[in-house]
């Protein structure tokens, strides 16, 4: 997803419409939690002016991540809406997080898309499938079970108070 500034300036009156799919397989190799990444669909338009170009983009795809409980694969869809501006001849006071300077004579959206997809990776995902309810040496208990259960370390203390209460 690269264009030369000269090519973009020719499209200034007509505008630029984007509807492409790109592969970012290097993200799967570089990120430890990312198991798979579908082709990323980039759709949007560009407003071209003589000193800058503004892209209004929607970036969609699906990534496969490990479940935080079971380490099973979980498909995590994402849909990113962003506006990115490239300045053809930037000054220092015009830059912010959504403003980029053109390196050489080429406007390249791929690094920005790569960064936005990386930022979309959540810290934890959970599978919607049923999780195991017990295993070797553990089991999930409800609040009611936990509430009625007496701590074994305090069981003899409970007996002491029952004796004291029966004597009075």
The DSSP code sequence of 91-102 is -GGG--TTEEE-
- The pTM assigned to this predicted structure is 0.71
Per-residue confidence of the chain (168 residues) as pLDDT tens digits?
Answer: 888 888 888 888 888 899 999 998 898 888 888 999 999 999 999 988 888 889 999 999 999 999 888 888 899 999 999 998 888 876 665 566 668 878 778 888 899 999 999 999 999 888 877 666 777 777 777 777 777 777 777 777 777 776 666 665
Alpha carbons 17 and 98: distance in angstroms, whole number: 19
Which pLDDT value is given to residue 64? 93
Alpha carbons 156 and 162: distance in angstroms, whole number: 10
Alpha carbons 3 and 88: distance in angstroms, whole number: 12
Largest CA distance in the chain: 99
Angle at 74 between CA 70 and CA 80, to 5 degrees: 140
């Amino acid at each position: 997803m690269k264009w030369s500034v000269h090519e973009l300036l020719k499209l200034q009156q007509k505008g630029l419409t984007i509807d492409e799919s790109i592969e970012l397989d290097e993200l799967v190799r570089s990120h430890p939690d990312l198991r798979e990444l579908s082709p990323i669909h980039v759709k949007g338009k560009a407003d071209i002016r003589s000193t800058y170009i503004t892209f209004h983009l929607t970036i969609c795809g699906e990534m496969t991540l490990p479940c935080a409980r079971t380490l099973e694969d979980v498909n995590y869809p994402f849909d990113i809406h962003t506006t990115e501006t490239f300045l053809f001849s930037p000054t220092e006071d015009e830059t912010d997080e959504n403003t980029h300077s053109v390196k050489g004579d080429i406007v390249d959206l791929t690094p920005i898309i790569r960064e936005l997809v990386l930022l979309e990776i959540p810290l934890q995902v959970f599978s919607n499938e049923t999780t195991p309810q017990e295993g070797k040496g553990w089991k999930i208990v409800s609040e009611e079970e936990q509430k009625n259960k007496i701590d074994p370390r305090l069981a003899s203390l409970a007996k002491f108070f029952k004796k004291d209460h029966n004597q009075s």
